[in-house]
Amino acid sequence: MKEFKLGKIYQGQLKKGSDIAQGLTKFLKDNKIKAGIIKGIGAVESAKLGYFNQQTKEYEERYFNENMEIVSLTGNISLKNDEPFPHLHAVFSKKDFSLVGGHLLSDTLVYAFEFEIVTFEGQAHIREFDQVIGLFIWND
C-alpha cells in the first residue's frame, strides 16, 4: 500500500486514428507522470482486448474490427522498466448494444476519445514480474 498527495489533474483528448495505449503512454512520458489514475470515454474505430488465462498464464487476444462506443475506460499509472506505464481496462458497446471488455491493448484506434488523468505525488508503484501470478504486478 502507498499513500500519495494529489498532483495535477489533466483533461485531454486523443486524435482520430491514434492508438489509445500508445497515445496515453506518450502523454505520461511527456508530462513525467509516474503515478495516478486514468479515465476515459468516447468511441473507437477498432479495438484489441486481452483476457489473461490464469491456467496457461498467457494473454488471449481478440481484435474487434468494428466501430464501438467506449462505455468506460479505466486504468492506473505506475512504473514498469523505469518508464511510466498505464494499465488500462475498457468496456465497449457494439451496434446491437452488447458489451465486450477486457485488458486494453495496442491497436485500439480512436474515433473520438476524451480522458482525465489524476496524478499522484509520491513514490510510484513499480511493476515487477511475479512468477506465481505470471504477470508484472506491483512489488509492494
List of residues contacting Zn ion (CB under 5 A): 103
Our CB check for Zn ion shows the closer of 85 and 115 to be 85
Q: How far is it, in rounded angstroms, from Cα 28 to Cα 117?
A: 9
Q: Angle at Cα 42 formed by Cα 40 and Cα 45, nearest 5°? A: 120
Query: At its nearest, how many Å lie between Zn ion and the CB of residue 96?
Result: 26
Residue nearest Zn ion (C-beta atom): 103
Our CB check for Zn ion shows the closer of 34 and 103 to be 103
Our CB check for Zn ion shows the closer of 103 and 125 to be 103
Reading the block at residue 32, the C-alpha cell is 513525467
Query: At its nearest, how many Å lie between Zn ion and the CB of residue 2?
Result: 19
Our CB check for Zn ion shows the closer of 13 and 74 to be 74
Query: At its nearest, how many Å lie between Zn ion and the CB of residue 42?
Result: 20
Pairing state between β 126-130 and 58-64: unpaired
